[in-house]
Amino acid sequence: RLHIFDGGQVIASSSGDGQAGNIMLNVNDIEVTGISEDGRFPSQIAAFSEGNSPAGSVTITSNNLTVRDRAEISVSARGNGDNAKAGDLDITADSILLDRSATLSAEVNAGDKGNIILNSQLILMGDRSNITTNAENAATGGNITIDTDLLVALENSDITANAEDSFGGQVIINALGIFGTEFREQQTPDTSDITASSQLGASFSGTVEINAPDPDPSAGLFELPENFVNPKLLVATGCGTNQGNQFVQTGRGGLPTDPTQPLVGETLWMDLRPLPRHIARRRKNRVHAAKPNPGNSRRSRIIEANRWIINNDGVVELVADSVQSSPFISWFDPYYCLR
């Protein structure tokens, strides 16, 4: 893991006529964040030349690349001679995150080149981040090539290959999905833009080629039927009930059939242990003497309450209906309903 922060720098540079060196990084996770305490120097990975000499290139291979908080990765040629050519910035990563004014750039003052090549499954840009190959003075704008599954650019994050006094560069984006940004003739202050313009006018503008599938709003949709079905017509008419039914399961002894009546002898627990003959004979006579309580057989059947009402006195009463109410009862009973 490589973390460059608080103005730290990885640099390959040349200030004379010699060519600057190259930077090659092969790290699982690379994070470049922040600026120096005095605010003068950004944290960066850079290959540049200051004289009349070509700059080196930066090649990065990583699983995750994060650049944020005004940090940058760049290649540039700052000299004014014909040999002041910028190198290429080539990044291959599973994900590339640019946030809070982060920058990927390849810039020249007088020469040419200065290209950016990005290969990533996900490129996420946010909060005024930039991918630029802008050219100053009479230099030609560099090229940007992006191959990705998903490109998201939000909050005024731009992809530009602009030029001042020459032709704009070329932007080629191959993506399965692009969100938050689109091609525009000129940069705008409040939107995320893709541009290849020139200050000399539209005739000097570069080209922008975006290869992404056009979404079809009607794809995956199906037509609904115009005539809706009344769900009541799909419910079969059942047979009306003419008597109440019940299912009662009780344990072995000790449970009265009516909680308002006392236990009868038949419901008491029976001791099945062997007894002496005279005790067994006396208990047998006692059982024969016990008769069922005639009141128990004539008492009214208890029915479980299934609804409640408020009577004329405003008192809530629990009541039971032998026929369950139905939201739909037909006066006609089908032939298969038995009485």
- Is residue 275 domain-resident? no
- Is residue 327 domain-resident? no
Distance CA 76, CA 133 (A): 9
Range of the domain at 160: 2-211
Q: What are residue 12's DSSP bridge partners?
A: 47
Distance CA 71, CA 101 (A): 8
Asked whether 161 and 143 are in contact (CB, 8 A), the reply is yes
Distance CA 70, CA 34 (A): 6
- Is residue 103 domain-resident? yes
Average pLDDT on 206-210 reads 93
The pLDDT value given to residue 85: 82
Distance CA 223, CA 243 (A): 49
- Is residue 65 domain-resident? yes
Overall domain count for the chain: 1
pLDDT digits (tens, 9 = 90+) for 252-276: 555 556 666 666 655 555 555 555 5
The pLDDT value given to residue 54: 85
- Is residue 330 domain-resident? no
pLDDT digits (tens, 9 = 90+) for 292-304: 555 555 556 677 7
- pLDDT band of residue 203 (cuts 50, 70, 90) is confident
Give the global pTM. 0.64
- Is residue 29 domain-resident? yes
Secondary structure class of 265 (helix, strand, coil): helix
- pLDDT band of residue 328 (cuts 50, 70, 90) is very low
- Is residue 308 domain-resident? no
- Is residue 170 domain-resident? yes
Tally of CB atoms within 10 A around 176: 12
